[in-house]
Amino acid sequence: MGVMKVQKTPQYFKEFQVKYRRRREGKTDYYARKRLIVQDKNKYEASKYRLVVRITNKDVICQIVDAKIQGDIVVCAAYSHELPNYGIKVGLTNWAACYATGLLLARRTLQKFGLDEKYEGQTEPDGEMYQVEEDDDGPRPFTCVLDVGLVRTTTGNRVFGALKGAVDGGLDIPHNQKRLPGYDPEEKELDAETCKKYIFGGHVQEYMEMLQEDDEDRYQSQFAKYIENDIGPDDLEEMYQNAHEAIREDPSPKPTEKQDSYPDLKKKKMKLSQKKDRVRQKIAAYKKKQAAAGGDDDDEDEDWRMDCVHPCDLDLSAAGRGSEPSFGAVYLAVGGLSSASARSFTGALAPRRAWATAACIVNGMTAMGIMVS
């Protein structure tokens, strides 16, 4: 019987499986992503759209994304930094701004697919649970699923503000009322008035009024942009109502102003001669400062240090073989070095086992007032 080669050794079963890059970076939940993008086999090549909502410190990003083999394709996008075009100049990351951004994305997407006139959505938001109904005579509504990323889906989270805006804008997104603000888990009912208050910034209005009464200084600092734009607590509801109307009138993206040329902010690399000249200028400025302070003795010591031998010029080839630089040469060399340079120079000698030379350097550094650790 011939010898059989073992194909699967113990090392085979101990190979480490490296995770995906975005999982290692903590950016993508692939367990959730697989269930969001997987498509039925009898719907081959049919797009499965996702409403991707991401909230940063200064912006709200809403996108309609289609997953392809080549990667994710962004079909349409809307950002909260576009809201100033519609009258919302402040508070671009609160719940009401998320709702307006979701509404803008919905109207823009339906306009792109020619469904904006067929599915208008909830033209007058009242906070009630709303779901787009399919028209028997016309095309079906644009359907997508919500992708919240790594956000904890707590009741009243801002991602559900974008969801509510997109649904009221005419998109068909499977959801329920349990995560909207105003939902009571005990009674299992949604308080529509509370949800409507969030849509029109009522919670911000209450907070502004509270600060005006209790802490005027904090109100002045926390709502400085509101005061600068002459926006008070009583102006918020009208501002958001006008913004919703403006979004429905024209949701198309507005091109930004482009300049003919932009300043080059990249720092240019200095030449060696420029670096040396910069060092000379610093030395001259330091000497001038010391002379003005009456430190003539310090200037002489500084000149002595600058004229000494640099460690790179020492012959250390024989170090570790019985011969080593003299104490005076090392003392002079270390005197012209900075603390960091002297430490690195000492470390460079250590691998050569030139312990005596290193001791001389440490003594020289200590004598010159350089701390050695």
Could you tell me the pLDDT band of residue 365, with boundaries at 50, 70 and 90? low
φ/ψ (deg, to 5) at 149: 75, -130
H/E element, 113: none
Are 135 and 118 in contact by the 8 Å Cβ rule? The answer is yes
Sheet of strand 60-67, all strands in order from the earlier edge strand to the far edge:
72-79, 60-67, 49-55, 145-147
The confidence band for 367, taking pLDDT boundaries of 50, 70 and 90, is low
pLDDT per position as a tens digit, 73-115: 999 999 999 999 999 999 999 999 999 999 999 999 999 999 9
The reported pLDDT for the residue numbered 17 is 82
Q: What is the model's pLDDT at position 57?
A: 96
CA pair distance 242, 239, nearest whole angstrom: 5
Q: Give the three-state DSSP class for 97.
A: helix
pLDDT above 80 for 308? no
Size (the chain), residues: 373
Asked if residues 346 and 358 have their Cβ atoms less than 8 Å apart, the reply is yes
Task: State the pLDDT at residue 9.
Answer: 80
Nearest 5°: phi and psi at 287? -65, -40
